[in-house]
Structure 1
Amino acid sequence: MSYKVIVDSCGELTEEMKKSGCFETASLKIEVAGQQIVDDETFDQGEFLKLVAASPECPKSSCPSPERYMEGFHCDADHVYAVTLSSELSGSYNSALLGKNLYCEEYGEKDIYVFNSRSASVGETLIALKIAECEEKGMSFQDVIDTVEEYIAEQDTYFVLETLETLRKNGRLTGLKAIVATALNIKPVMGATAEGTICQLGQARGIKKALVKMVDEIARRLKEPGRKILAISHCNCPERARQVKEMILEKADFRDVIIVDTAGISSMYASDGGVIVVV
């Protein structure tokens, strides 16, 4: 059976995924300094970060339309999946569900399923790869859904950012007590709850100590790393991402390791220097 995986653009596709022909990106849009930027292959991270740094206003994002998802579902593949940002952080999931309904009303029933990643960035990447792995094994459509939903439930997301201002100003830290202590250079270690909201796991003074604390937290929670892929995304800091990888690999061995640079939406929220880890 043929398959297709649509990933909203908060999830980064590796070069191998782009070449496979099985993955497609549904682009979100970013508005900053009076400009609208489409988060697709034309996104220029360097220019974007300069715009953000120069703008007094916080960048904002908008999710793909239901019609965009409907268009993606309209294809020759027998099984079609969508992977979206956590529904607690974006309207992308609900937009994809509506796109599925619109498709079925227009063209009839088809095997389409929308996964709420309960994560973001490279977490979505891992979910898309898991779908492909299950499909390549010849699993039935329902077995793929069940296996991947179980995988999502076991997945853990961690991140350390230079600043949480974009997340805060866009209302993505709702429910968290005040954690900003810029004068003391306090950097929170953040994660995702089982529901896909953002939570604080700890904090440290300075980015280096915060990254060490994040790695310790990953090691403490890690189960069966040998069957997992370690995935790291970074916003314009490849050396920092490499150091995090080495620190984690000193504590555990993984089936594989992926490092990607953040695309548009992840760059917007991670900000310059942010690191995201998903296992």
Structure 2
Amino acid sequence: MSFKIVYDSCCDLPVEFYSDPRFQSVPLSLEVGDYHIMDDETFDQAQFLKHVAESEECPKSACPSPDSFMQAFKSDADHVYCVTLSSKLSGSYNSALIGKDLYEEEYGEKDIAIVDSLSASCGLGLVALKIMEYEEQGLPFDEIVEKVSAFRDDMTTFFVLDNLETLRKNGRLSGMKALVAATLSIKPVCEGVEGNIVQRGQGVGIRKALVKMVDLIEKESHDTEERTLAVSHCNNYERAMLVKDMILARKKFKDAIVVDTRGVSSMYANDGGIIVTY
């Protein structure tokens, strides 16, 4: 059976999949003051980060329209899957659900599954790649949906950001403990829990915070030999490789990938941010 995987543009994948015809991105729009762009193949990370650094206004994103998702669902593929940014962080998931309804009203019923990743960045990527793996194994559509939901629920996402301004300005830190005074050198270690952001620790300086994150991963991860480790970075490949190597020195994973953030993930992670999902 043929398949298609649609994802919103918060999904960060290895670069070869961006040109894979079985995958299609539905872009969010990004705004920094008067600067407006779509998070598509025209996205320029360096230029975007420059605008973010120079603007006093908080960068914003807007989820794709239901019609954008409906258009992406048009396909000769037998099975269509759509993976979205956590519904706790964006309206993308609800927009995709409406897009499915619009598609079926116009074209009739089709095997379309809308998957709330409860994650972001490489978390969406791992869900998309898991769907591909199950499809290539020839599993039935309903079984794939069930197994992907279980995979999503057992997935863990940690992150350490060098710059918290975007999350602070747009209220995404509401689930975290208050940061100690205004000591900018303190970097919190955060985890995505059921789609929300919580603080799990902190370190003085980015290096110590990353080590704290790796300590948590070593202590709390399980069955890693059967898992893929994914590390996303915003404009700092060397830091991402350092984190990957630190983790693999302590735990064995089936595979490990390092990806750069696209527009939405770059907006939240900001320059130098690191996201780890497994």
1:12-54, Cα deviation, whole Å (9 max, x unpaired)? 1322212331111110010013011110111110111111111
User: What RMSD in Å do the two structures reach over aligned CA positions?
Assistant: 1.1
Aligned twin of 2:159: 159
TM-superposed CA distance for 1:254, in Å, is 1.1
Matches within 5 A, 1:120-139: 120-139=120-139
Q: Which amino acid aligns with 2:263?
A: G
* In structure 2, C-alpha distance between the alignment counterparts of 1:125 and 1:179, rounded to whole Å: 30
Q: How many residues align?
A: 278
Residue 249 (structure 2) aligns with: 250
Cα distance in structure 2, aligned partners of 1:249 and 1:13: 20
Amino acid at match of 2:199: Q
How far apart in 2 are the matches of 1:12 and 1:113?
A: 20
Counterpart in 2 of 1:144?
A: 144
Letter aligned with residue 19 of structure 2: K
| One-letter identity of the residue aligned with 2:179 | I
Matched residue, 2:234: 235
Measure the CA separation in 2 of the matches of 1:24 and 1:176.
34
Equivalent in the alignment of 1:23: 23
Query: Could you tell me which amino acid in structure 1 is paired with residue 272 of structure 2?
Result: G
Corresponding position of 1:271: 270
Q: Secondary structure at the match of 1:4?
A: strand
Gaps of at least 5 residues in structure 1 are none
Q: Distance in 2 between matches of 1:138 and 1:251?
A: 34
Question: SS of the residue aligned with 2:183?
Answer: helix
Other-structure match for 1:36: 36
Q: Distance in 2 between matches of 1:37 and 1:19?
A: 21
In structure 1, the partner of 2:172 is: 172
Post-superposition shift, 1:75? 1.0
- SS for the counterpart of 1:241 is helix
Any residues of structure 2 matched to 1:61-210 within 5 Å, and which? 61-179=61-179, 181-183=181-183, 185-193=185-193, 195-210=194-209
Q: Secondary structure, in 3 states, of the residue corresponding to 1:25?
A: strand
1:220 and 2:199 aligned: no
Q: Which runs of 5+ in 2 are unaligned?
A: none
What one-letter code is carried by the residue in structure 1 that aligns with 2:166?
T
CA distance in 1, matches of 2:83, 2:233: 20
Structure 2 CA distance for aligned equivalents of residues 184 and 151 of structure 1: 36
- Determine the C-alpha separation between the residues in 1 that align with 2:262 and 2:26: 12
Letter in 2 for 1:67: D
Matched AA of 2:197 = I
Q: Is the CA contact (8 Å cut-off) linking 2:177 and 2:199 kept in structure 1?
A: no
| Cα separation, 2, equivalents of 1:261 and 1:175 | 26
Structure 1 distance, partners of 2:81, 2:182, is 42
Q: Name the CA distance, whole Å, in 1 between partners of 2:117 and 2:180.
A: 27
Contact 2:31–2:37 (CA<8 Å) still a contact in 1? yes
TM-score, normalised by the number of residues in structure 1: 0.97
Contact 2:160/2:209, CA 8 A, preserved across alignment: yes
Q: Is the deviation greater in 91-100 or in 28-37?
A: 28-37
Q: Which amino acid aligns with 1:85?
A: L
Note the 1:39-58 alignment, pairs <5 A: 39-58=39-58
Paired residue type of 2:192: A
In 2 relative to 1, CA 30–246 (structure 1 residues): closer, same or farther, beyond 3 Å?
A: same
The answer to whether the 8 A contact 2:118-2:195 is kept is yes
